Amino acid sequence: MDKVPVDQPVRLTVKVEGGNVLPGHAGIVVYPVDSSKFFVVAAIAIIAAAAKNGAEAGDLADLRDERIIVRTSVAIIGAGPAGMFLAHLLARSGIDAVVLERRDRAYVEGRVRAGVLEQVTTDLMRDLGLAERLDREGLVHAGTQISLDGELARIDMAALTGGSAVTVYGQQEVMHDLFEAASARGIQIVWNAQDVVLEGLDTDAPVVSWRQDGEPRELRCDFVAGCDGYHGVSRASIPGDVLRTFERIYPFGWLGILAEVPPANHELIYANHERGFALASMRSPTRSRYYIQCGLDEDVMDWPDERFWDELCLRLGSEAAARITRGPSFEKSIAPLRSFVSEPMRWGRLFLAGDAAHIVPPTGAKGMNLAVSDVMFLGEALVEHYRGGSASGLDTYSSRALARVWKAERFSWWFTSITHRFPEMDGFARRIQTAEIEYIRGSPAAQRVLAENYVGLPL
Ligand code: APR
Ligand code: PHB
């Protein structure tokens, strides 16, 4: 133990061998990799505590034959956009973090998700030095189209917001860039971390445990960032009487396809049609992404490509339909729409970020962008804590993040409500919807409200 350098980051592996272990003696194999001096304390403390409690060498071996204990400053649960952007933000400031991800990289990178980045997100990628490909391949959109029963109208977002725009760049590409740069920056990602359990969140010393290839693992840390999405373990680790949740389930879903065909239009088209909502989007000049509103009970098998293209053309209207190139889809899936917020976003030393705390319907493409703004607040707060010892950023994290989250929830709910066909919709409701879209078309003030929300509200 004495030979382990404690003045620089080291990671220690403590190995307890078949029944012959004495505290601090043979059988404890110490591998200095890259952890911290705190770890040395933790390793000694565990063994010393066990011995003090009357444990014999053999008892230790019975507890666990091999136990790898790592210490870090921030344990990040989940390697989606929230977890990986936070890991990069912390790495940039020299803050030690370990990311634990339940799946493997190919799975996380391969998930087809949205692809519209707010200005805040592209700015962050540039700040982090991750934008080389984004700047080359991202499609900057200064405007978007709103269609009502086939009639198109353009919202000039850049003109209405003093030059802000959105950038079309798939979440898969963002994830690829985040992962590619990770190891060179010393970001440690543990893939296939099974059965993650969070403990001691209301103490000064949280412990994260999991299984790796069936073996138990443990990570001691100062803080846990719960970036593990809606179904993750983090939100579920907060006592039920602390949490308040708010939810809207929409009575429809989106049937989406990807096809290797040029997009119908150089900007997105959000279409409100008597038959239901449709969206014309893209991933690149040669790859299109289209969606149509569908029933929750529908099956993709009932939507062969030709039926999808026919329905899409009807809803987009003849002007846009004339520019659609049909082709075989290589991805087709149905996603339900929901709004969800869980408050607060902090409990003890656990901080939730991204889908772990909130979900928006995809109308307006806010999901990934909200995950990014959360971790910008959280990253700033953690840097402040480690640099100056001030806890004020951490103390205000939840309220700061929720203030922006709720505005994006409002916008996504509103944009959904004016563009989709609701089952209970009567003539009155339909005319109110039509009036709302016509009002937007005729009013620069209304367009500005839409535009400033669409490009992303300031942090
Ligand atoms: N342990 C470890 N990792 C977990 C666990 C767990 N118990 N549960 C979930 N995860 C991982 C998931 O495998 C996933 O890779 O956490 C990650 C969460 O990523 P996302 O669901 O993408 O959530 P987030 O990073 O908040 O991003 C939100 O991006 O993926 C889109 O639709 C999403 O737009 C939204 C935004
Ligand atoms: C997408 O391209 O997947 C997309 C675009 C805009 C949205 C939602 C999804 O509002």
pLDDT by residue (tens digit) across 290-345? 999 999 999 999 999 999 999 999 999 999 999 999 999 999 999 999 999 999 99
Q: Is the pLDDT of residue 244 over 80?
A: yes
Regarding whether 102 and 18 lie in a shared domain, the answer is: no
For residues 86 and 51, the answer to whether their CB atoms sit within 8 Å is no
What pLDDT score does 389 carry? 84
- Domain match, 30 and 159 both: no
Q: Which residue has the higher pLDDT, 31 or 293?
A: 293
* Span 191-196, average pLDDT: 98
- The rounded distance, in Å, linking the Cα atoms of 196 and 218 is 9
Judge whether 454 and 157 are in contact, CB under 8 Å.
yes
Q: Which of 101, 116, 363 to mutate to test the pocket of ligand 1 (most atoms within 8 A of CB)?
A: 101
If asked whether residues 118 and 57 sit together in one domain, one would say no
Residues 110 and 192 in one domain: yes
How many Å lie between the centroid of ligand 1 and the Cα of residue 231? 8
**Same domain? 101 vs 140:** yes
Domain count, the chain: 2
Q: Which residues line ligand 1 (CB under 6 A)?
A: 77-83, 100-103, 108, 113-114, 193, 196, 227-229, 231-233, 354-356, 367-368, 371
Say if residue 89's pLDDT is above 80. Answer: yes
Confidence grade of residue 187 (pLDDT, cut at 50, 70, 90): very high
Q: Are residues 53 and 83 in the same domain?
A: no
Domain boundary (21, 39, 62) is at 62
Tokens in use for 40? 């040395």
Instruction: Quote the CA–CA distance of 76 and 224 in Å, as a whole number.
Output: 6
Q: Are residues 191 and 53 in the same domain?
A: no
Would the pLDDT of 51 be above 60? Answer: no
Q: Which amino acid is at 434?
A: T
Give the model's pLDDT for residue 161.
97
Provide mean pLDDT across the span 406-411: 98
Tell me: do 117 and 191 sit in the same domain: yes
| 180 in a structural domain | yes
**pLDDT score recorded for residue 114:** 87
On the question of pLDDT at 48 being above 60, the answer is no
The residue length of the chain stands at 459
Domain match, 383 and 237 both: yes
Six token digits for residue 214 = 């069936």
For the stretch 161-186, pLDDT in tens is 999 999 999 999 999 999 999 999 99
C-alpha 174/C-alpha 109 separation (Å) is 9
Q: Does ligand 2 come within 6 angstroms of the Cβ of 263?
A: no
Confidence of residue 47 (pLDDT cuts 50, 70, 90): low
Q: Whole-angstrom Cα distance, residue 251 to residue 297?
A: 10
If asked whether residues 29 and 99 sit together in one domain, one would say no
Task: Identify whether 9 is preceded by a cis peptide bond (ω within 30 of 0).
Answer: no
Give domain status of residue 213, yes or no: yes
Ligand 1 atom with the shortest distance to the CA of 210:
1
433 in a structural domain: yes
Query: Of 10, 36, 62, which one is at a domain's C-terminal end?
Result: 62
Q: Which of 62, 85, 110 is a domain's end point?
A: 62
258-269 tens-digit pLDDT: 999 999 999 999
- Domain boundaries, position 157: 74-247+338-455
CA of 141 to the centre of ligand 2 (A): 13
Q: Whose CA is nearest to atom 8 of ligand 2?
A: 365
Average pLDDT score over the chain: 88
26, pLDDT greater than 60: no
Catalytic residue numbers, as ranges: 141, 270, 362, 366, 454
pLDDT for 404 equals 98
Q: How far is the CA of 5 from the centre of ligand 1 (A)?
A: 36
> Could you tell me the pTM of the whole model?
0.88
Position with higher pLDDT, 320 vs 41:
320
The DSSP 8-state label assigned to residue 237 in this structure reads G
